[in-house]
Structure 1
Amino acid sequence: MMNIEFITAIILDGAFAAIAAIGFAIISNPPRKAILISAFLAAVGHGLRYFLMHTHLFTMDIATASFFAAVSIGLLAIPFAKAIHCPAEVFSFPSLLPMIPGMFAYKSILALTKFMQTKDETASLQYLVDFFHNGSTTIFVLFALVVGAAIPVFIFHRQSFTATRLLKKLVKKA
């Protein structure tokens, strides 16, 4: 059974991801509805990733949990795209950006610079291990996000392009 602290942590994780997604969405100047949908999708995706990584039922690693979160964002983006006649990528991409593993990338580059600066052989081996660990984690999470977001578009190919086709027809009539 989940306790109130765990549920609160999931909600907070989703709320912070929603705030970040709003910032990323505003950059591309989408319709206002798309900004709110981006925030919702980011909250759901990031909350799901947090749940999958920290619950005793699954306890997944960050790359696998990110994959399932990206798939859920992609699946939810398609009906929203159809509803507001906007490409699904408009809200799925800003929703995925808060899940990019920036800390792992930073630690990877930091370990690489420390590896190049140190003269101690033991420390240099540890920095090299840290570089490959954090770098591979970054690459696997990014790969999981890309593949997870692309799968729903490939599965629902016709539905994902219906929103933009309808919009093009409306623009031609005007």
Structure 2
Amino acid sequence: MTMQLIYGFIFGFLSSVGFGIITNNPRRTLIPSGIVGALAWIVYILVESINHGLIMPNLLGAVVIGLLGNLCAILVRAPVNIFYVPCLVSLVPGAILYDSMKNFTLGKDALAAYGFVKALTVGLSLAIGFIIAETIANKIYPRLKRHLLEKESK
């Protein structure tokens, strides 16, 4: 499990940074994006090892991305979407959708429908995770912003 977490951190970091480079994110946001993406993937691995489902690992991974992405946006002074998009890449159910489309083209409609429902469930859990994180961030982070602005003006 320890090696899985180490590999998860490394590849979560690299996938987030790599996607940040592909989408032309500013250089100053790449390392924070990588750290947020890596921590989200670690949370995903830990929750998935306990839960063995798809909903909770994705939901909690999205909450981590939402909370830490908002924090990084404040600290680095960048739009929050610059952190959301690269970090979310590893959680998007691309393989599930690919298998569903493949099964659909092969005429395995029941299996394809099952995959689509599974992908929709993952997508909804990611969206709900972001809603939860935004709600928490909107309560906590305005104080942090004010504190940082007061500190800079001195």
Normalising by the smaller structure, the TM-score range is: 0.7 to 0.9
Cα distance in 2 for partners of 1:51, 1:104 equals 21
What's the CA shift for 1:94? 0.9
- Amino acid in the other structure paired with 1:64: M
What are the ranges of 5 or more consecutive residues in structure 1 without an aligned counterpart? 1-5, 116-126, 167-174
| C-alpha RMSD of the superposition | 2.2
Preserved CA contact (<8 Å) 1:92 1:149:
no
Alignment partners' CA distance in 2, 1:83 and 1:157: 15
Distance 1:138 1:14 in 2: 24
Q: 1:132 to 1:107 in 2, by over 3 A?
A: same
Residue 78 (structure 1) shift = 1.9
Identity of aligned residues (%): 23
Greater alpha carbon shift after TM alignment, 64-73 vs 19-28: 19-28
Residue among 137, 148, 156 paired with 2:129: 148
Instruction: Tell which structure's C-alpha radius of gyration is larger.
Output: 1
* Partner Cα distance (1:16, 1:156) in 2: 27
Q: Any residues of structure 2 matched to 1:74-93 within 5 Å, and which?
A: 74-93=66-85
Distance 1:18 1:111 in 2: 32
**Contact 1:41 1:92 survives alignment (8 Å):** no
Specify the alignment match of 1:49 in structure 2: 44
Partner of 1:172: none
Moved more, 69-78 or 151-160: 151-160
* 1:22 to partner: Cα distance: 1.2
Deviates most, 94-103 or 14-23: 14-23
Deviation at 1:128, TM superposition (A): 2.5
Structure-2-length-normalised TM-score = 0.83
Q: Are residues 1:15 and 2:10 paired?
A: yes
Paired residues for 1:23-42 under 5 Å: 23-42=18-37
Counterpart of 2:87, as a letter, is S
TM-score, normalized by length of structure 1?
A: 0.74
What stretches of structure 1 move > 6 A for 4+ residues in a row? Answer: none
Q: Structure 2 unaligned runs (5+)?
A: 149-154
Shift of 1:11: 1.8
Using a 3 Å threshold, how does the CA distance of structure 1 residues 47 and 131 change in structure 2: closer, same or farther? same
Query: SS at 1:61's partner residue?
Result: coil
Report the alpha carbon displacement of residue 51 of structure 1 after superposing the two structures with TM: 1.2
CA drift at 1:66: 0.4
- How many residues align? The count is 145
1:149 Cα shift?
2.0
